[in-house]
Amino acid sequence: MQERYTHILEKWFITEPAMFAVLCMHELVPETQMSCPLRSGKKKLEYNPDIVREMSDNALEEAMRAEAVRLLLKHPYERRPDGCSQKSMGLGSNIVIGDNYQHPHLRIETPEDFKLKKGMSYEWYAHMVEQKESSGDQEGSSDKYSDLAELWDDDELTVQMINEVINTIKSWGSLGGNFAELIKANMKAKINWRNIFAGFRASIISSKRKLTRMRPNRRTGFDNMGSVRRFDTKLLVAVDVSGSIPTESLKYFYGVINSAFKYGFESIDVIQFDCGVRTVQSLKKVIKDVAIVGRGGTSFQEPIDYAHENGYDGLVILTDGYAPPPSLPEGFKTGILWVCENEMFLKQHKTWMEKSGRVCVMQIG
């Protein structure tokens, strides 16, 4: 395996610089107990010698490509959908790869195999697979996909190393075009919805769990039912499009919205506001092209009142913070998360923002 692996990497040094760089970050290690040919995580690329031995050189190279793409998308290190099993994560990751990249000598699942929409995120596919598993509709080898995700764990340091590879790549080889844009899009502005919503969403989402015997209870095994968390929160995201917001910041704001789909949200309502509510959209997938309407003064009372009148569970306001603090309507029960454009604005407005909700700043890069 070492000789075949080295031969492929040497060829990639010229033809596939992105995949070459990301695989070189990982140590090649044999593992005979796993049921998949290759898997990555924990700074290792593990392989099963018995399975790899039977693979053609073309199939082995495509298996290496699949792992390199998975690493560039950072599935093993950053993106672990809440409520999903290892099997669902591994299979969801494969579906994204199969949806975007051709592997003629290697069987990789596609959305069509599961009657799912094309062009969705890894987290969305993982949740859809989890739902099929819970309902008994999903068939296939659990061991293979569970083994595939066995090494996956959040690792911010490795994420930053992969981001550095992505930032410095000049030629994407066979990953050019739409797939390169997909990889780069994962680095755009975001917030860590899982961490930020730890307290904000507790009363909103914790009661919306579905009991299932397809997953064991952590303490008592299959004797008691486990649960799967569904992100069916009625969430409103309000984008400040007033004249004080630069166009570049608006791009980052929508990057924050797109990042929510990575954490399992299936639908998000979005409004643009300045001194009034200008547009209303219901998004079910990442949005690329955005028309901005408004660019006047700012009134936070507009999104507050809109969320209250329409019964939203949570309200996320993306803003620079420059406007008078709003008044909460009588009986207002919507949880608020203020997302500031940068640390400077956070320091300026944090005191009054915290009187009505939680506060965080965008992560860019």
In this prediction, residue 196 carries a pLDDT of 56
Instruction: Write the pLDDT tens digit of every residue in 297-307.
Output: 899 999 999 99
Q: Which residue has the higher pLDDT, 208 or 192?
A: 192
The CA distance from 316 to 142, in Å, is: 37
Least confident of 43-52, 198-207, 348-357: 198-207
Can you tell me the mean pLDDT for 190-197?
A: 59
Query: Over 70: is that where the pLDDT of 197 sits?
Result: no
Query: Over 60: is that where the pLDDT of 230 sits?
Result: no
Q: Which residue has the higher pLDDT, 247 or 144?
A: 144
CATH 3.40.50.410 fits 235-361, yes or no: yes
Most confident of 162-176, 305-319, 333-347: 305-319
Instruction: Write the pLDDT tens digit of every residue in 315-339.
Output: 989 999 999 999 999 999 898 989 8
pTM of the model: 0.57
Q: Which residue has the higher pLDDT, 187 or 47?
A: 47
Confidence of residue 231 (pLDDT cuts 50, 70, 90): very low
Secondary structure of the chain in HEC code, one letter for each residue: CHHHHHHHHHHHHHHCHHHHHHHHCCEEEECCCCCCCEEEECCEEEECHHHHHCCCHHHHHHHHHHHHHHHHCCCCCCCCCCCCCHHHHHHHHHHHHHHHCCCCCCCCCCHHHHCCCCCCCHHHHHHHHHHHHHHCCCCCCHHHHHHHCCCCCCCHHHHHHHHHHHHHCCCCHHHCCHHHHHHHHCCCCECCHHHHHHHHCHHHHCCCEEEEEEEEECCCEEEEEEEEECCCCCEEEEEECCCCCCHHHHHHHHHHHHHHHHHCCCCEEEEEECCCEEEEEEECCCCCCCCCCCCCCCCCHHHHHHHHHCCCCEEEEEECCCCCCCCCCCCCCCEEEEEECCHHHHHHHHHHHCCCCEEEECECC
Tokens of 332: 């207002």
Query: Over 60: is that where the pLDDT of 285 sits?
Result: yes
Least confident of 3-17, 86-100, 153-167: 153-167
Where in the chain do CATH 3.40.50.410 domains reside? 235-361
In this prediction, residue 359 carries a pLDDT of 87
In this prediction, residue 191 carries a pLDDT of 64
Can you tell me the mean pLDDT for 239-255?
A: 81
Query: Over 50: is that where the pLDDT of 201 sits?
Result: no
In this prediction, residue 331 carries a pLDDT of 93
In this prediction, residue 213 carries a pLDDT of 45
Percent of the chain's residues with pLDDT above 90: 42
Tokens of 10: 């040497």
Tokens of 223: 């004797």
Q: Which residue has the higher pLDDT, 206 or 278?
A: 278
In this prediction, residue 363 carries a pLDDT of 59
Instruction: Write the pLDDT tens digit of every residue in 11-67.
Output: 999 999 999 999 999 999 999 999 999 999 999 999 999 999 999 999 999 999 999
For the chain, what is the mean pLDDT? 82
Query: Over 80: is that where the pLDDT of 185 sits?
Result: no
Q: Which residue has the higher pLDDT, 253 or 294?
A: 253
Query: Over 90: is that where the pLDDT of 290 sits?
Result: no
